[in-house]
Structure 1
Amino acid sequence: MTTEESLRPQSLMLTFLGEQVLGRDVCVYSGSVIDVFARAGVGEQATRSTLTRMVNRGLLRRQREGRRMYFGLTEHSAEVLLDGERRMWQTGAVNRQWDGTWTLLGFSLPESWQRQRHDLRAKLAWSGFGPLFGGLWIAPGEVDVSALVTELGLASHVKVFRANADAGTDIGAMIEETWELPELADRYTAFLRRWQPWETAAPDPDDALARRLLLQTEWLRIIRSDPRLPVKHLPDDWPAEQAEKTFRGVHERLTPLADASARRLLDLVPVRPDPA
């Protein structure tokens, strides 16, 4: 089995920790991580480098037990994983509950603030916004951007409004002009092409844990790039719903074998409190 080129080892690591460590107050042995990642097509050196980088970035904590090194979550990485868990299992890929509300964010930054402008646009896109016009971005529903704006130090340069479109506005056309729908649809279609065969295939018990890791990481990457636009204004053949059914179906088939494999392969120890 080989990992998809677009699935970075750090993304796989976060998914793995979300499955095996989040909410359990445990740390996992580095050798166990290396074993599972090798089954997912990630080499030992890449896995070790990823663990080290994530410790340096405050996403992981180290805990030594004898001659073995174990890794656990930090408060920051736990928050990231909880957000991903909500997105995967609660929010979902299809927005049927849209109430007609839009969040509009306007900004005006000095011409020399190129880095701040880039950072703001990147975080807005990550939060589901699209560029309606140059300095005016829009997202479906009520999106709280206060933390985002505060983090970037741009509160005095940003204005946020809630609005409803006028009756004469062609919302479908506006969506097509504002977001890259073909690119997003292609991601869902590629996911279906890769994973639909596994709705009926018999999983290999030795590969089930790594395969579930790849499945969840790819799915989370797609839905985190999806602004969850109102489904009634999307093309009739929009593939997100079928892709979500495939994700849930394959996940259900893999999970009994993957959980049994995890119990067999993973060395876990309780988290020790940090010394005062």
Structure 2
Amino acid sequence: MAGPVVSRRREVSGGSARSLLTTLLGEYVLPSAAPVWTSTLVDVLALFDVEEKAARQALARTAAEGWLRSDRVGRRVRWTLTEPGRRLLAEGASRIYGFGSGSREWDGQWLVVLVSVPESMRDLRHKLRTRLSWAGFGTPTAGVWITPHPAAEADAKLILDELDLSSQAMSFLAGYGALGSERSMVTSAWDLADVGARYQRFIDEFRDLSPATPDEVLRAQAMLVHEWRRFPFLDPQLPAALLPPKWTGTTATALFNDLHVRWRGPAQERWSELAAE
């Protein structure tokens, strides 16, 4: 059976039961390392208006993908993260909590990858576009992929190797020349207006949120992480010199970090109470 994998579609999608369950596993089950009852997960998912049937289906499918294993204690069932599931969730947590907080200094060097796929091979073209975009690359014109992060070449090579395209690809490092506009190239390569609008919606949703009860804090904390999970797959983390003025990503990052610190303790305490029932 294939092991668990991270799906970009699930990461950037809305509040499906399986996507919400992944957030709960990463935020509450991973740190404790303790098994969790089916009833606990069903009850917490109910806070997000997920019906019991959908919650149980999400559990079964997540287990079938290799993230969880179950064991029966009397008439009750409890779930434990598998080792591959634990590893992927730990990697995800590192990506989520560290995202947006790194240095935006830049030496002006671009990594450029040239690779073309015939239009007739639509499935391969789609896979290439999806996976390079996920890795933070932008494409200002057909067959050209760019990133201001030279270290991403290792990711590009892995992707091209797996798609059997490395032999027909070329890569090099370069500074932008005298022709055209570097900012216009960036605008063509990435839809920063869409990413900025998504950041603004995140700010609008959470800026004035004041959860009062323990259940409200747990739900708010989980939703905060759940919504933030999308941005590492949407934002290429461009250097400050290439970003629009008053970039909403900066404000959103500060808001996420502040709220996550503020809500995490009470939310974990409420989770522990529910898990002990």
Q: TM-score range by the shorter chain?
A: 0.7 to 0.9
Q: Could you say what secondary structure the match of 1:172 adopts?
A: helix
Q: Distance in 2 between matches of 1:93 and 1:9?
A: 29
Q: Distance in 1 between matches of 2:233 and 2:107?
A: 21
- Give the corresponding residue for 1:182: 193
Moved more, 251-260 or 121-130: 251-260
> Is there any run of 5+ residues in structure 2 with no aligned partner, and where?
1-12
Q: Distance in 2 between matches of 1:140 and 1:23?
A: 34
- Give the corresponding residue for 1:274: none
- Give the corresponding residue for 1:236: 245
Q: Could you say what secondary structure the match of 1:50 adopts?
A: helix
Q: Distance in 2 between matches of 1:38 and 1:89?
A: 26
Q: Could you say what secondary structure the match of 2:146 adopts?
A: strand
Q: CA deviation at 1:23?
A: 5.6
2:90 alignment partner, one of 82, 100, 114: 82
1:167–1:64 distance in 2 versus 1, CA, 3 Å:
farther
1:208 alignment partner, one of 197, 217, 236: 217
Q: Could you say what secondary structure the match of 1:81 adopts?
A: helix
Q: Distance in 2 between matches of 1:28 and 1:233?
A: 45
| Maintained 8 Å contact 1:9/1:50 | yes
The one-letter code matched in structure 2 to 1:170 is: S
2:257 alignment partner, one of 226, 244, 248: 248
Q: Distance in 2 between matches of 1:32 and 1:160?
A: 50
Q: Could you say what secondary structure the match of 2:53 adopts?
A: helix
Aligned: 1:163 with 2:174: yes
Q: Distance in 1 between matches of 2:263 and 2:30?
A: 20
TM-score normalized by structure 1? Answer: 0.85
Q: CA deviation at 1:241?
A: 0.9
Q: Could you say what secondary structure the match of 1:237 adopts?
A: coil
What is the count of residue pairs matched by the alignment? 262
- Larger % of helix: which? 2
> Any residues of structure 2 matched to 1:212-227 within 5 Å, and which?
212-227=221-236
**Higher relative contact order (Cα pairs below 8 Å, separated by 6+ residues):** 1
1:26–1:156 distance in 2 versus 1, CA, 3 Å:
farther
The one-letter code matched in structure 1 to 2:34 is: V
RMSD of equivalent CA atoms: 2.4
Q: Deviations over 1:98-127 (max 9, x none)?
A: 332322222233444221211111111111
Q: CA deviation at 1:168?
A: 5.8
> Is there any run of 5+ residues in structure 1 with no aligned partner, and where?
269-276
Q: Deviations over 1:114-151 (max 9, x none)?
A: 21211111111111111121111112212022332333
TM-score normalized by structure 2? Answer: 0.84
| Maintained 8 Å contact 2:29/2:36 | yes
Q: Could you say what secondary structure the match of 1:21 adopts?
A: helix
Q: Could you say what secondary structure the match of 1:211 adopts?
A: helix
Aligned: 1:102 with 2:113: no
| Maintained 8 Å contact 1:203/1:254 | no
Q: Distance in 2 between matches of 1:158 and 1:68?
A: 54
The one-letter code matched in structure 2 to 1:211 is: A
Q: Could you say what secondary structure the match of 2:80 adopts?
A: strand
Aligned: 1:191 with 2:199: no
| Maintained 8 Å contact 2:211/2:217 | no
Q: Distance in 2 between matches of 1:263 and 1:157?
A: 54
Q: Distance in 2 between matches of 1:138 and 1:37?
A: 40
- Give the corresponding residue for 1:114: 122
Q: CA deviation at 1:167?
A: 5.8
Q: Could you say what secondary structure the match of 1:197 adopts?
A: coil
Q: Percent identity?
A: 33
1:51 alignment partner, one of 59, 75, 80: 59
Q: CA deviation at 1:72?
A: 2.9
Moved more, 121-130 or 245-254: 245-254
Q: Deviations over 1:135-189 (max 9, x none)?
A: 1111221202233233334333433333332366632221112111111111000
1:174–1:108 distance in 2 versus 1, CA, 3 Å:
closer
Q: CA deviation at 1:65?
A: 3.0
Q: CA deviation at 1:93?
A: 5.7
